[in-house]
């Protein structure tokens, strides 16, 4: 762990403002010049990000150029997401990119006709594409050619009802409930383990030639005699939910770790296509229930950028306050559960005491402890209640004491040190390649934070540091999060000092409900209220891929609207889904006990991984 002001090896700039109507994005110009006909279209989306639509056949070349060329250097692949607009229209695949070096973003889009859903895989360029492409395959049936392991990732591997996010797939599935239950309950072992794993476990012994003795068996014949396969999860206290890991072990050393996801697949993205824009806010809570307001705020911000509205100054500061409160809350839970995993139970009790104080603040504001649903498109559910600011200030002033206490317990603790130092090391290059974001990336020494790189909610006006680690090990990830909580306290104190007066909601009855008192007394407000409730908020046609910094990393929302009251596509790019993709690499050659430490240090939340 280095000091917060340690120089970052990667320079992160914010993008310069662009002129209207003129193609000024150097990447678009360069790609157009180099690939000519390969580029079909280019435009700018609602968050001022350039979008290039390219020919699917040239995709790999374009992305390879964008990643490797010195002037482009788009080294962070943020997402691979499918979009089905319905009506037999082509399925789109979006590739949002970010260049650490130049501080620019770009979105590459391809259109695939339904008759030919094939495209080259980009796993050779980015490791992070592995899981993201598997998810797109799982949900849309897009075949990524050259992918090393193209299987379903969230749905069961033998799921035969189709591709859930296609428009022709019904919300409740193709089969009746009893048939779905019957299929679920009658799974055989072959459905739960992949062929490869069964071979590892020696279940498919027929594939080992009979003339080979067990002690001479090698990898090609299955598991060599010394190795053992164990199954960790999905019901295991140290997997932070229902993550399942299949491990190949040599003694206690992990040779290979194969995560199985989807045990908590909730169908958020499908369900949200059937909900109105404001009705989606409660769903965002339940993805990351450890820091729900960050998700509320990120979602509201994405929709507001589609609408092109600017929230009020008071609302901005309130959102900053709540964001940082929830960042602290998320990190506190991480600290407590990681403490339990590594045998420090006291920390759990300390951090939950602080979390109870956060819950009290939540309750005072919105009435709920966990599932807060605080934002509305264009504002918040209510203004801050009386006395809340003082309670918040009190919390911000006293939290560092608890952090000091926890640090006294852990930071120099011999057991803690020996279980975290040099465990699960990730260097900066690999971390970016795996698409890590948030504290996990910063612990590897990359000072990338959406709050600094693309400031939103006026984060550029606050004075705070980005803690970065030097070694990228589990201890650095711990220290970075501790320091981030202190920085959040700094932001909260500044926000409380500058909290402006004025309205919290924008003044537009077509977007946000008028005050209750008005709708009871004025006919205009009553009509606006009625229209908004009955018809729902209408969002103009458009698309956006907008991201904010959640407690776990970069949280992206990919939204497509056709001008109606419901989204056509509602994509959540969960940071822990991508972060977890690095786990198999991080634990190769480690001990099982280190696996627990590394997995804990990634700060995953299954609600948002499986969505």
Instruction: Give residues in contact with another protein (CB under 8 A).
Output: 155-156, 161, 164, 169-173, 177-178, 180-188, 192, 234-237, 241-242, 262-267, 270-271, 282-283, 285-286, 289-290, 333, 337, 348-349, 352-353, 355-356, 359, 369-371, 606-607, 610
- Please report how close the Cβ of residue 406 comes to another protein at its closest, in angstroms: 14
The smaller minimum CB distance to another protein, of residues 280 and 586, is found at 280
Q: Are residues 489 and 399 in contact, defined by beta-carbon separation less than 8 angstroms? A: yes
d(CA 294, CA 550): 6
Q: Which is nearer to another protein, 45 or 288 (CB)?
A: 288
Which pair of tokens denotes residue 154?
A: 């969230």
For 234, list phi and psi in degrees, rounded to 5. -75, -10
Q: How far apart are CA 409 and CA 356, in angstroms?
A: 21
Please, what is the minimum distance in Å from the beta carbon of residue 253 to another protein? Answer: 24
Closest separation in Å from C-beta 157 to another protein: 10
Q: CB of residue 269 vs another protein: minimum separation in angstroms?
A: 10
For residues 46 and 253, what is the distance between their CA atoms, to the nearest angstrom? 49
Evaluate whether 552 touches 226 at the Cβ level (below 8 Å): no
Q: Which is nearer to another protein, 42 or 373 (CB)?
A: 373
Q: How far is the CB of 85 from another protein (least distance, A)?
A: 20
Angle among Cα 256, 259, 261 to the nearest 5 degrees reads 170
Q: How many residues does the chain have?
A: 611
* Residue nearer to another protein on the CB measure, 111 or 369: 369
Give the Cβ contact number of residue 364 at 10 Å.
15
Nearer to another protein, 38 or 234 (CB): 234
The SS3 assignment for 482 reads: helix
Instruction: Provide, rounded to whole angstroms, the least separation between the CB of residue 162 and another protein.
Output: 9
Which letter does DSSP use for residue 301 in this model?
H
Q: CB 148 → another protein: shortest distance, Å?
A: 23
**What is the smallest separation between the CB atom of 498 and another protein, expressed in angstroms?**
32
Nearer Cβ to another protein, position 354 or 473?
354
* Cα separation values, 278 from 504, 566, 571, Å: 17, 9, 15
The nearer residue to another protein, 164 or 439, going by C-beta atoms, is 164
CA pair distance 40, 109, nearest whole angstrom: 10
- The DSSP call for residue 206 is G
Tokens of 603: 């700060």
Nearer CB in complex with another protein: 187/195: 187
Phi, psi dihedral angles at 554 (to 5 degrees): -80, 120
Question: Helix, strand, coil % (nearest 5) of the chain?
Answer: 45, 15, 40
The DSSP result for 523-534, as a single string, is: HHHHHHHHHHHH
Q: 446-463 burial by CB neighbour count: b if 16+ within 10 A, else e? A: bbbbbbbbbebbebeebe
Q: Which of 384, 332, 333 is nearest to 362 (CA)?
A: 384
Nearest distance in Å: CB 354, another protein: 10
User: Rounded to the nearest whole angstrom, what is the least distance from the CB of residue 237 to another protein in the complex?
Assistant: 4
Query: 118-120 and 143-145: which strand pairing?
Result: parallel
The distance of closest approach from Cβ of residue 274 to another protein in the complex, given in angstroms and rounded to an integer, is 8
Nearest residue (CB) to another protein, 171 versus 230: 171
Closest to another protein by CB, 160 vs 463, is 160
Q: Say if CB 130 and CB 148 are below 8 A apart.
A: yes
Please give the backbone phi and psi of residue 174, each rounded to the nearest 5 degrees, phi first: -80, -30
Nearer to another protein, 555 or 582 (CB): 555
The alpha carbons of the chain give a radius of gyration, in whole angstroms, of: 25
Shortest approach of another protein to residue 482 CB, angstroms? 20
Query: How many whole angstroms separate alpha carbon 396 and alpha carbon 490?
Result: 8
* Residue 611, both tokens: 């969505």
**Adjacency order of strands within the sheet including 542-550:** 542-550, 553-561, 569-573
Closer residue to another protein in complex, CB, 217/347: 347
């Amino acid at each position: 762990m280095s000091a917060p002001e340690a120089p970052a090896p990667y320079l992160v700039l914010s993008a310069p403002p662009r002129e209207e109507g003129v193609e000024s994005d150097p990447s678009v110009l360069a790609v157009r010049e180099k690939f000519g006909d390969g580029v079909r279209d280019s435009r700018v989306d609602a968050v001022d990000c350039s979008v290039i639509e390219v020919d699917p056949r040239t995709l790999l070349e374009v992305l390879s150029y964008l990643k490797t060329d010195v002037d482009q250097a788009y080294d962070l692949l943020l997402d691979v997401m499918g979009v089905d607009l319905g009506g037999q229209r082509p399925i789109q695949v979006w590739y949002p990119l970010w260049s650490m070096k130049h501080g620019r973003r770009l979105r590459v889009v391809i259109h695939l006709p339904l008759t030919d859903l094939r495209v080259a895989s980009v796993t050779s360029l980015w490791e992070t594409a592995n899981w993201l492409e598997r998810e797109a395959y799982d949900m849309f049936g897009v075949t990524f050619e050259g992918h090393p392991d193209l299987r379903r990732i969230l749905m069961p591997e033998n799921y035969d009802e189709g591709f859930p996010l296609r428009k022709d797939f019904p919300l409740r599935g193709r089969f009746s409930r009893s048939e779905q239950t019957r299929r679920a309950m009658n799974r055989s072992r072959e459905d739960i383990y992949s062929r490869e794993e069964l071979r590892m476990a020696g279940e498919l012994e027929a594939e080992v030639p009979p003339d080979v003795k067990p002690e001479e068996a090698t990898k090609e014949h299955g598991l060599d005699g010394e190795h053992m396969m164990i199954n960790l999860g999905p019901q295991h206290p140290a997997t932070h939910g229902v993550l399942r890991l299949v491990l190949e072990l040599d003694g206690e050393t992990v040779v290979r770790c194969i995560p199985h996801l989807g045990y908590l697949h909730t169908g958020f993205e499908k369900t949200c296509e059937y909900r109105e824009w404001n009705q989606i806010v409660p769903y965002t809570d339940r993805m990351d229930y450890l820091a729900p307001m960050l998700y509320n705020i990120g979602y509201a911000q994405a929709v507001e950028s589609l609408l092109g509205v600017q929230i009020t100054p008071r609302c901005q500061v309130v959102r900053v306050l709540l964001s940082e409160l929830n960042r602290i809350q998320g990190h506190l839970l991480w600290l407590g559960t990681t403490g339990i995993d590594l045998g420090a139970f006291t920390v759990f009790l300390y951090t939950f005491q602080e979390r109870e104080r956060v819950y009290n603040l939540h309750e005072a504001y919105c009435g709920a402890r966990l599932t807060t649903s605080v934002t509305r498109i264009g504002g918040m559910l209510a203004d801050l209640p009386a006395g809340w600011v003082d309670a918040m200030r009190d919390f911000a002033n006293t939290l560092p004491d608890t952090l000091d206490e926890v640090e006294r317990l852990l930071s120099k603790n011999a057991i803690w040190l020996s279980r975290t130092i040099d465990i699960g090391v990730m260097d900066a290059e690999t971390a970016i390649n795996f698409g890590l974001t948030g504290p996990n990336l910063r612990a590897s020494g990359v000072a990338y934070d959406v709050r600094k790189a693309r400031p939103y909610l006026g984060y550029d006006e606050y004075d705070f540091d980005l803690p970065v680690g030097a070694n990228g090990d589990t201890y650095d990830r711990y220290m970075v999060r501790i320091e981030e909580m202190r920085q959040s306290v700094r932001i909260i104190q500044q926000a409380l000092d500058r909290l402006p007066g004025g309205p919290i909601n924008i003044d537009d009855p077509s977007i946000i409900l008028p005050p209750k008192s008005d709708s009871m007394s004025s006919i205009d407000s009553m009509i606006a209220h009625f229209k908004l409730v009955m018809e729902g908020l209408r969002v103009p046609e458009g698309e956006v891929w907008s991201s904010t910094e959640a407690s776990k990393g970069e949280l992206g929302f990919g939204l497509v609207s056709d001008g109606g009251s419901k989204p056509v596509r509602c994509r959540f790019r969960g940071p822990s889904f991508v972060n977890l993709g690095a786990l198999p690499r991080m634990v190769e050659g480690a001990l099982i006990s280190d696996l627990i430490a590394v997995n804990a240090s990634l700060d995953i939340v299954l609600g948002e991984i499986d969505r």
